[in-house]
Each structure stands twice: as structure tokens, then as C-alpha cells.
Chains A and B, each alone.
Chain A
């Protein structure tokens, strides 16, 4: 059963009692909240996610989203986020509970999930071939990830490349894609399949709206993908498509040093990232148009696929 098939009031009751569970793949949350608007947004944006009953019993993160108390419940009411008793961020306005929750989960996950290498990248997959997209904020990474999901790719994450050092595979850490500023309209125009939540104006990252992960993506919550391609995208308005192969050491440095916990993992992180770079070609991709970029990524994946098959048959690359 999917979350959206559960009536809103039932979810609210579960959240009130601190027994609303949410499975994001690499992390399972237990949520306590009595902020009604927040649960409504959750119902919309996590609608395709599996519904977990109140007696699920185990969660990786125990989070609470509550209203400010006393005066702050009445005057410019606030929402506050806590994870296992810790409050990493200043309160947000009450209606901004969802972005606060999303950033709170990112923080909590990045603090704790040190059994994995946490690349700062979006990850999408075609079948079980993963594309790792790493880039600094503002380079159009989330927009491209959103458009790829709406074009048939399976979204694993738009923020975390969760690399398991034991298997060398990437795990889904699936959350709504945070679209910023102009991206919201771009994605709305890109596909009529896009389920987009309310626009939150003037957050610390500008205006933000969230794109709900689709069923293709949520159905693969526990299906890892094998790294096949590394892309460093850069959006430039009006630019023609430009795709350049990167030297391995260059790609390694960009991937490793932008990760959340590379410094912490020492040799574990080094070997895991080195294996990714050894297995995947890496490209810089400058684009001005989403369709063209996605077409290019498809053909790069085809090529990577052919090379892997040839290598498996013992032919040199």
C-alpha cells in the first residue's frame, strides 16, 4: 500500500502519537508531529512511498517536527526540527515545516550514515546502471535529476550518492527533489506528470518547491544500482551541448573532495571512490537544454554498457 492511499487523518493520528514511519531506502524515519499542514505536504510529496504501519518498530532516525511553544505558537508561529533530541537548525516559520524537515533529514543522515561514502551528488539509474551527477549548488544538478526522473530514469537521490563500500553499489536515499527558483517552472513546463508541492518563498536557499518521486523510483527503494557513468553537469542559459571526457584523477578529486564524509572514512573512502572512477567514464557536461542533455546521457550510458560487455568478453576497451 502506498502512503497516499492512506487517509490524511489516519496519517495525522499516527504522527501525533509519534508513530509515523517513512522509508527512504537508506534511511527509515520515525516521525512525531502535530503540524497538520506538514503532514498534508508529506502525504502529497511522499505519496508514492510505501505505507508503513504504526507498529513498524524500527527506525534509523527519530525525528520530531513541532510548533514553537508559548508566545511563538501564536505570534509568527514557528516550526522546530529535532532528531534524537538534537536541534540542528534555528526554527522556521510554521508553514515552512516541510523544507525544514527535508534539510533536517539531510543533516541527520549526513551526520550518521558513516557506514557509507556519502557523495554529494544526484543518482539516477536506467535499469541497474547508475549515473552519478556531482556538481556544486546552482549548476542545475537537481533540475537535470528531476527531468531525468520524468523521462523514465529511476531516481535514487538528488542529494546523496550513497556508496556502499562492501558491494561498490549505490543505494537509494529517496526524497522529493528540491527545485529552486526558476527550476520550478522549468520542470512544470517539462512534464505534465510532475507532482510538485507548494512553493516556499524566501527560504535560505531562495524559493523552493519539491518534486514528488514517482512510482518507478519508489518501487526501487531497496534496489541498489551499479555505478556506470559519472557526470559533472553545468547548466548555462542558451549554451549548446558540450560534453568532454575527464581525466580519471580529475574526476576522482572532484567526486571525493565534494563528498560529505570522505575525510572521515580514510582508506575506505579512497578505495570506494577509486573503484567508481576505475569502472566509470566521467564527463563534464555543459548544457542549455534539458532534453539534449538527457539524450546525451542516454548515449553515454549505451556506450558505457557496450564497453562493459566487451570487457566482460575479454576484449580490450
Chain B
């Protein structure tokens, strides 16, 4: 867990240092911003970066006006997305039975809890969590109110309903955002399965809202699992920044950290948490106390993981061709994603089916 390994390039040149400390901007010349803005845009971090820099006027004032413009555009864009989320939540509120317990996950939850990390963040969609027993009720209520599932094959529907942790995405015709209705935070078939009973026992009401949020520790664990199990590890700096924000927000004392580690153990996510803390600390300078009673992954696994995540995780310049190592790392990230998501037999069946669809579609 130690080590101040060099930051991954090119994000490590200015983008990561800026996210660690806005004062880094004071030493930057206009030409330094060229790459930095492109990387931030690619990682969808213009808004968060803009907010952090504006919150530090001595740094903001030294940023060239052209660059301020891009950051302000990111901030404005994020405000619009936040408004879209609020509007969708308001409409959902009308549609969902008022006695149904509905929990917001990720972006929508960060927004309504007014967490600092939500500032400038652009959510993709709205994620709702209900108990499995309530899933049918929630789905029917939304469908009655006009939300529709995107048309897809019977196989896809089966995939979502049997093996996933959410329904196929729902959308109200004409609305810009999709709604994902979850009954758990991890796929039913995945290696790391969070303990649903624990999650639902620790829900917290969000003030001035009909919605609930996961307990603070479970929000952290969810973000950890989402990033280090449910992603392909590709272009995921934004997810890491979410984690950094949650850790800074919810943990104060050593006691808090001990409880977090216990919680991760209870959700079978200790190793994923180790990775999360490692990268938060080394890339983003998140204050993580040492030593932590968290078992490190075996050295070889750690090296392999690091090889992949350093190449694949941070944003890259969009018009620069990937190196062979970067392509291999991305494929390894994809393979790992599938491997962690389903047992081997099921995975083989799933990939065969997907492959078959591709072949037949090509020959049609």
C-alpha cells in the first residue's frame, strides 16, 4: 500500500496535479492547458475541474481567459445536466407510489445530497434502487406512467432480468435521460456480491426529498465496486474522482476508516477497496491513514492490475493512436470485466450468443 509511484502520463503532467491541488494552475502557461483541457474533456471532468479552480480565486485569476472559457462551459453544461436530473426525478416522483421506498444511486444521489463532488459532475442517467420484492411494482408504475423500455431482443431482456442487477433501461418518450431500475448494486452473477440485506438496513432519507440514499459507507463501497468490478477500467478517472470526493466527505476519524474496512469485508469487497484507496492516494492525493488493516492483493495480481489500470484508466488524447500496450491493457480490462461479472460457464454461453448475433447480423 505504500509507494509514490510516478503518475501515469499524459494525465499525470497537469490534470492529476490540478485535481490534487488547484494551486498547480498558478504555474501553468497557456500551452500547458492545451493537452490538459483535452484530457479533462475526454474524461468528462471539465465541470468538476472548473468548480475546483473557481473555488480558489488566486488560482482562477491566473488562468488565461481562453482557458477559463472552456472551464466555464463545462460548469454551465454540468448545471444543465443537473437540472435534467432534477426534472426527471420530479417526474418519477409523480409516477412512483408514495409508500414505495426508492433509493437514489450515484449521480442523482450525490446531487440531491448536495455533496461537493456533485459540483460540475454530469450524470449519464438516473439510477434507482428498490427492494427485489418491490421491483415489479416499481416497473409497472413507471410503465403505467409512460416510461418505455428500449426495444431489444428477448435474449437481452432475459440477460437483464436473470443475471443483472437492473432492468433494461427505461425512458419516457422525449426525455433526454434514461432511468435504470436496480434491485441490487452488483450483478446477481458477479464475483463480488454486495450484501443486499446490509444495504437496505442502512438506507438514509435525503432531506426535503421523497428519495433515500445508501448509508455513507455503502455509497463508498458501491462506488468502489462500480469502478473496480463493473467497469472495463477504461477512461475511468471520473469514477476515481467520485471516490476521492466520497472518502473526503464521509470519513473523518480513524474509527471511521476502521468501520469502512469492516463494511467492505461484510460486502466481500476488501480487495476492491484496497485498489480504490491505492489509486485515490497515489493519483489524487486522497488522505488515507496508514497503516490500514486491509489485506493487499498478492504481489503478482497487483502488478498485473497496475499494468492495466495505469494504461487504461486515465484519459488519453483522443486523436493519438493507442500504443500496442494500451490496446492490450484495454482488452485485458474488458476480459477482466466479463470474468468478474459471470461464472465461466455462463460467460462462455453469453459470449457465444453475442458472437453468433454478430456473425448472423453481418451475413444478413
Known: A62-B319, A85-B319. A266 touches B30 (CB 8 A): no
A112→B319 contact, CB < 8 A: no
Q: A112-B73, A116-B69 are in contact. List 18 more A-B contacts (CB 8 A).
A: A58-B30, A58-B33, A58-B34, A60-B66, A60-B70, A62-B319, A82-B319, A84-B42, A86-B318, A112-B70, A113-B69, A114-B76, A114-B80, A115-B69, A115-B73, A263-B80, A264-B80, A266-B80
B83 at the interface (CB under 8 A from A): yes
Partner of B30, one of A57, A62, A86, A113: A57
Encoded as 1 (CB less than 8 Å from any A CB) or 0, chain B from 53 to 75 comes to 00000000000001011101100
How far, in Å, is A126 (CB) from chain B's closest CB? 26
Bound: A82/B72 CA distance, A: 24
A114→B31 contact, CB < 8 A: no
Please, which residues of chain B bring their CB within 8 A of the CB of A73? Answer: none
B77 at the interface (CB under 8 A from A): yes
A84→B38 contact, CB < 8 A: yes
B79 at the interface (CB under 8 A from A): yes
Chain A residue with minimal CB distance to B37?
A60
A253 at the interface (CB under 8 A from B): no
Please classify how large the interface on chain A is, using the bins under 10, 10 to 19, 20 to 34, 35 or more. 20 to 34
A292 at the interface (CB under 8 A from B): no
A247 at the interface (CB under 8 A from B): no
B72→A115 contact, CB < 8 A: yes
Partner of B73, one of A64, A85, A113: A113
Encoded as 1 (CB less than 8 Å from any A CB) or 0, chain B from 23 to 54 comes to 00000001101100010011000000000000
A57→B34 contact, CB < 8 A: yes
Please, which residues of chain A bring their CB within 8 A of the CB of B83? Answer: 266
Bound: A19/B42 CA distance, A: 21
Chain A residue with minimal CB distance to B41?
A84
Known: A57-B30, A60-B70. A115 touches B318 (CB 8 A): no
Question: Which residues from chain A sit less than 8 Å from chain B, CB to CB?
Answer: 28, 32, 57-60, 62, 64, 82, 84-86, 112-116, 263-266, 268
Known: A57-B31, A264-B76. A28 touches B66 (CB 8 A): yes
Please, which residues of chain B bring their CB within 8 A of the CB of A82? Answer: 319
Please, which residues of chain B bring their CB within 8 A of the CB of A264? Answer: 76-77, 80
List 5 interface pairs A-B (beta carbons < 8 Å), by A numbering. A28-B66, A58-B34, A60-B70, A64-B319, A84-B38
Please, which residues of chain B bring their CB within 8 A of the CB of A114? Answer: 72-73, 76-77, 80
B319→A58 contact, CB < 8 A: no
Residue among B33, B38, B66, B76 with max Cβ neighbours from chain A (10 Å): B76
Chain A residue with minimal CB distance to B83?
A266
Please, which residues of chain B bring their CB within 8 A of the CB of A60? Answer: 66, 70
A58→B31 contact, CB < 8 A: yes
How far, in Å, is A168 (CB) from chain B's closest CB? 16
Chain B residue with minimal CB distance to A264?
B80
List 4 tightest A-B contacts by C-beta distance, closest first.
A85-B318, A57-B31, A115-B72, A114-B73
Bound: A84/B41 CA distance, A: 10
Please, which residues of chain A bring their CB within 8 A of the CB of B66? Answer: 28, 58, 60
Partner of B80, one of A84, A115, A116, A265: A265
Bound: A263/B83 CA distance, A: 11
How far, in Å, is A219 (CB) from chain B's closest CB? 20
How far, in Å, is B343 (CB) from chain A's closest CB? 36
Please, which residues of chain B bring their CB within 8 A of the CB of A86? Answer: 318
How far, in Å, is B323 (CB) from chain A's closest CB? 16
A115→B79 contact, CB < 8 A: no
Bound: A82/B320 CA distance, A: 12
Partner of B34, one of A59, A112, A265: A59
Please, which residues of chain A bring their CB within 8 A of the CB of B72? Answer: 114-115
Bound: A85/B315 CA distance, A: 13
Bound: A263/B77 CA distance, A: 11
Please, which residues of chain A bring their CB within 8 A of the CB of B69? Answer: 113, 115-116
Residue among A60, A85, A114, A268 with max Cβ neighbours from chain B (10 Å): A114
Bound: A82/B317 CA distance, A: 13
Bound: A43/B42 CA distance, A: 31
Please, which residues of chain B bring their CB within 8 A of the CB of A116? Answer: 69
